[in-house]
Amino acid sequence: MSESPFKVLNVVGARPNFMKVAPLHAALQAHGRFNSMIVHTGQHYDEKMSDVFFRQLEMPHPDVYLGIGSGSHAEQTGKVMIGFEEIVLKEKPDLVIVVGDVNSTMACSIVAAKCHIPLAHVEAGLRSWDRRMPEEINRIVTDSLADYLLVTEQSGIDNLVAEGISEDKIFFTGNVMIDSLVKFREKAAKTTILQDLRLTPRSFVLMTMHRPSNVDGESGLHSIVQIIQFLSSIQEVVFPIHPRTRKQLKAFGLLEQLENLPNLKLLDPLGYLEFLSLMENASLLITDSGGIQEETTFLQVPCLTLRENTERPVTVEIGTNELMPMEAENVNRRASEILSGKNVKGSVPPLWDGHASERIAEELAIQLKRRQAI
Ligand code: UD1
């Protein structure tokens, strides 16, 4: 008699979730023991923040779209919980999988736990130790509720164990975001983004900035402008702007200053493949993103992360990532050193090899079977 498949709900909500769930969903479907569904909360909803990723990452349309949209933290979290609870009660899944640390991750974790559905957290155990970051709260809540904690780096294991989480719930399986990078690297190289923007490899700085701590106040925004003004006097600067950042620059009257800079390419958010191609060819990344710290470490491209802490210490310890507070003078000094060749040479962390999703599918099949047998 063939065993019936485990029904899995994979949650996606915001941009950094898509490149993690695409390989996971594919690996679960290929494994043979799962019936994998995708639930999109709609936390991100624009063509450029959501739809383009489904197409480029070859992900099927979501089975369920909750259409939650933007709002305050409580509003967004509450709406996701209400919408997701209905789906869980209707679908009665054997497992809910959440990835990363966005509001949708935490909201769906609480629902799964309260409905007594086993919960897996992919990218568990990361800690910035900075509770002013909304993501840190999301990570702590999600990890405390998860039954299976799938970890990307050693610090994740150490943090979870220190928090009293039983070691038999923790699995070091690697980095699913790197699975997407490995799979789509060649395709990214075939995009025409470099030609379209008239860029030559290793002759431009790529910048992203969207954390509330950097872009919601005037001083952070002024520093960003100063950094761009300085760097664009040395190399071309490419800056795809997150909607939050665009809104803030406009509100403080700074967008115009940037629009007038000759060596700056100010763009709308880019697709996955175009951005990957730019990362691979940049001479330096300047960012406050979580994922880009990992992607540049894998690509061995220099990265300055304008934050005081990182929940991904392996990228600093063995990767190409360096942390710097948002102080224009210091950032400009270090950036020009890097551009003159004084950069850190990194190596790729263990199990960032393109096969993390397959290891996760196999481990979850073992765990669910074991649970069934009890
Ligand atoms: C969210 C995540 C953050 C992640 C980031 C990646 C949380 C707490 N934060 O932050 O961890 O790094 O996504 O982008 O979950 N907006 C649009 N179109 C969209 C989505 C948002 O214009 O499709 C605008 C809206 O004005 C919205 C603002 O962006 O108010 C912020 O969106 P939100 O989902 O609240 O947080 P992010 O800053 O994107």
Q: What are phi and psi of 278, to 5 degrees?
A: -65, -40
Q: How far is CA 58 from CA 48, 76, 193, in A?
A: 16, 27, 19
**What is the per-residue pLDDT across 14-51, written as a single tens digit (0 to 9) for each?**
999 999 999 999 999 999 999 999 999 999 999 999 99
Bridge-based pairing of strands 284-287 and 204-207 is parallel
Quote the Cα angle for 215-220-221, to 5°: 70
Separation between Cα atoms, residue 305 and residue 321, nearest integer Å: 7
Residues with CB under 6 A from ligand 1: 14-16, 43-46, 49-50, 70, 101-103, 134-135, 210, 242-244, 247
**What is the per-residue pLDDT across 111-161, written as a single tens digit (0 to 9) for each?**
999 999 999 999 999 999 999 999 999 999 999 999 999 999 999 999 999
Atom of ligand 1 nearest to the CA of 291: 12
User: Ligand 1 centroid to 31 CA: how many Å?
Assistant: 33
Which of 209, 204, 205, 206 is CA-nearest to residue 326? Answer: 209
Task: Provide the edge-to-edge strand list for the sheet that holds 119-124.
Answer: 64-65, 34-40, 6-12, 95-99, 119-124, 148-151, 170-172
Strand partners, 95: 8
Strand partners, 6: 34
The CB-based long-range contact list for 159-168 (8 Å cut-off, 24+ gap) reads: 159/125, 159/126, 159/127, 160/124, 160/125
Question: How many Cβ atoms are within 10 Å of 201's Cβ, its own excluded?
Answer: 12
Active site residue 210: yes
pLDDT band at 99 (very low <50, low <70, confident <90, very high): very high
Residue 87 has a pLDDT of 98
User: Ligand 1 centroid to 338 CA: how many Å?
Assistant: 31
- Ligand 1, atom 14: nearest CA belongs to which residue? 15
**What is the per-residue pLDDT across 195-206, written as a single tens digit (0 to 9) for each?**
999 999 999 999
Question: How many Cβ atoms are within 10 Å of 351's Cβ, its own excluded?
Answer: 17
Return the best residue to mutate from 65, 70, 80 for the ligand 1 pocket (most ligand atoms within 8 A of CB). Answer: 70
Separation between Cα atoms, residue 64 and residue 294, nearest integer Å: 30
pLDDT band at 211 (very low <50, low <70, confident <90, very high): very high
Which of 98, 91, 92 is CA-nearest to residue 40? Answer: 98
Residue 92 has a pLDDT of 98
Give me the amino acid identity at 37.
M
Residue 3 has a pLDDT of 82
Residue 345 has a pLDDT of 87
Provide the Cα torsion 149, 154, 160, 165; round to 10°. Answer: 60
**What is the per-residue pLDDT across 48-64, written as a single tens digit (0 to 9) for each?**
999 999 999 999 999 99
Atom of ligand 1 nearest to the CA of 50: 23
The pLDDT of residue 2 is above 70: no
User: Ligand 1 centroid to 30 CA: how many Å?
Assistant: 32
Residue-range domains of the chain with CATH: 6-175+352-373 (3.40.50.2000), 184-339 (3.40.50.2000)
Q: How far is CA 235 from CA 40, 161, 279, 284, in A?
A: 39, 45, 15, 10
Atom of ligand 1 nearest to the CA of 210: 38
Choosing from 31, 121, 210, 242, the catalytic residue is 210
pTM over 0.95: yes
Mean pLDDT of the chain: 97
Positive or negative, the CA dihedral 61, 126, 279, 308 is: positive
Q: What are phi and psi of 313, to 5 degrees?
A: -60, -25
**What is the per-residue pLDDT across 220-238, written as a single tens digit (0 to 9) for each?**
999 999 999 999 999 999 9
User: Ligand 1 centroid to 244 CA: how many Å?
Assistant: 7
Q: How far is CA 170 from CA 3, 87, 96, 144, in A?
A: 26, 27, 16, 12
**What is the per-residue pLDDT across 260-300, written as a single tens digit (0 to 9) for each?**
899 999 999 999 999 999 999 999 999 999 999 999 999 99
The pLDDT of residue 306 is above 90: yes
Bridge-based pairing of strands 170-172 and 264-267 is unpaired
The pLDDT of residue 1 is above 60: no
DSSP three-state, residue 95? strand
